[in-house]
Amino acid sequence: LESKKNGKNQTTAFNFFMQELHNRMLLIEDALSTAIEKGQLQLHYQPKIEMPSEQIEGVEALLRWTHPSFGSVSPVEFIPIAEEKGFIHKIGGWVVREACLQWSRWNEEHNIRLVIAVNIAPIQLTKEDFYPSLLKILEETQMDPHYLELEITESSSFVFEEKTNIMLTKIRNLGIKISLDDFGTGYSSFSVLKQLPIDTLKIDRSFLKNLLDHVEQEAIVRSIIQLGHNLKFDVLVEGVESIEEVEWLKNEGCDYIQGFFYSKPQRPEDLLTLLKHERIETVTIV
Ligand code: C2E
Ligand code: MG
Ligand code: MG
Ligand code: MG
C-alpha cells in the first residue's frame, strides 16, 4: 500500500513538472515573438584563434536574450522553440544584419576587420528568400562578404539536400565562407562530405571530453583532423578549455581553436578591449 502511494505521488510530481515545463515553453514562445521589437536581443562575440600563430583571426557571433522577468535565457533553450514556431527566420535575419552592422562599425570607427561568423539554423536554408535577403543585408550594411562566415550545424539532413547545396554554392561564390558546425554529432556520412560546398569543419566540443585521458578519444580527434585536411577543409576545434588541449591540438595540426581557454563570448565593447591588448602585444614583438 505504501509503495502504491509513493508511486502515485511520483506520478503527480512528474505531471506537475511536465505542466511547469509546458507553461514555461508557452511563456517563452510568447515573449520571444516580441523580443526583437523590445530590443532584448544582443550578440556576443567569441574569438577564433589561428594556429600556430595564436592570433585572433575572427569571431563567432552568439545570440543573447535578456528578458525582464525570465532574466537571461540560453540559446540552447530558445533557438529550438524559435525553430519550431517559425520565428527563426526573422530572428536569424536580425542576427545576420546585426553582425554585419557591427563589422561596419568596427571597420569605420576602429579600422578593424575581423571575419564574423553567424550561426544559421538549417531550416533557414529551406526558405526561398534566404539568399535574396542575404544580398539585401550585405548591400544595406556595406558589409564586405569576404569577412562573413555562416556556421551551419550538421544536425539536420536539409544540409545535405541538393537544393541546399546549390544555394550554399551561390553564397560561397559571393566570397562568404561556410563552416559545418558541431561536426561529428549529426548526419554527415563520408560519401556526402566530399562534395559539400564548405570551407571549415568545426569539431564539436563533446569530442574534447576526456581527450587527454583516453587514447581512443585522441585517435578519433586525430582522424577527424586528418580527414578534414585530406578533403581540403580547414579544421577548427571548439570548446578548448586547457593549455594541455591547446598543445595537443597544435601538435596535431589543427588550424583554428575556439574556447574558454582563450576567451568566453564577449560583449562588443569588451572584445574591442581584448583586441587592443592583442595589438599592443603584436607591436611589442615586432
Ligand atoms: P555553437 O554554435 O556550437 O556555439 C558554441 C557554444 O559553446 C556557445 O554556447 C559557446 O558559448 C559555448 N562554448 C564556447 N567555448 C566553450 C568552452 O570552452 N567550454 C564550454 N563549456 N562551452 C563553450 P551558446 O552561446 O550558449 O550557444 C549554444 C548554441 O546555440 C550554439 O552552439 C548554436 O547552436 C546556438 N546559437 C547561438 N546563437 C545562435 C544564433 O544566432 N542563431 C542560431 N540559429 N543558433 C544560435
Ligand atoms: Mg556555431
Ligand atoms: Mg558548434
Ligand atoms: Mg557545439
pLDDT of the chain along its 286 residues, tens only? 555 566 777 778 888 888 888 888 999 999 999 999 999 999 999 999 999 999 999 999 999 999 999 999 999 999 999 999 999 999 999 999 999 999 999 999 999 999 999 999 999 999 999 999 999 999 999 999 999 999 999 888 877 888 899 999 999 999 999 999 999 888 777 778 888 999 999 999 999 988 888 899 999 999 999 999 999 999 999 999 999 999 999 999 999 999 999 999 999 999 999 998 875 454 343 3
- 283 CA to middle of ligand 3, Å? 32
Residue 279: its pLDDT value, please? 58
Residues with CB under 6 A from ligand 1: 46, 62-63, 74-76, 79, 92, 95, 119-121, 151, 153, 181-182, 238-241, 258-260, 265
Residue 1: its pLDDT value, please? 55
In the block, which residue shows the cell 550578440? 43
Q: Determine the residue of 60, 119, 249, 257 to mutate for testing ligand 1's pocket, defined as the one with the most ligand atoms within 8 A of the Cβ atom.
A: 119
pTM: 0.93
Atom of ligand 1 nearest to the CA of 83: 44
Residue 154: its pLDDT value, please? 85
With residue 94 as reference, give the H or E element that holds it.
helix 88-110
Q: Which of 170, 92, 99 is nearest to 138 (CA)?
A: 99
By residue count, the chain amounts to 286
Contact (CB, 8 A) for 60 and 104 = no
Q: Determine the residue of 32, 62, 64, 152 to mutate for testing ligand 1's pocket, defined as the one with the most ligand atoms within 8 A of the Cβ atom.
A: 62
Contact (CB, 8 A) for 61 and 119 = yes
Nearest CA to ligand 1 atom 21: 239
ipTM of the complex: 0.98
- 11 CA to middle of ligand 4, Å? 34
Q: Which of 57, 59, 55, 63 is nearest to 93 (CA)?
A: 63
Phi, psi of 111 (to 5 degrees): 60, 35
How would you classify the pairing of strands 115-120 and 71-73?
A: unpaired
Q: Which of 163, 191, 184 is nearest to 237 (CA)?
A: 184
Q: What is the DSSP letter of 258?
A: E
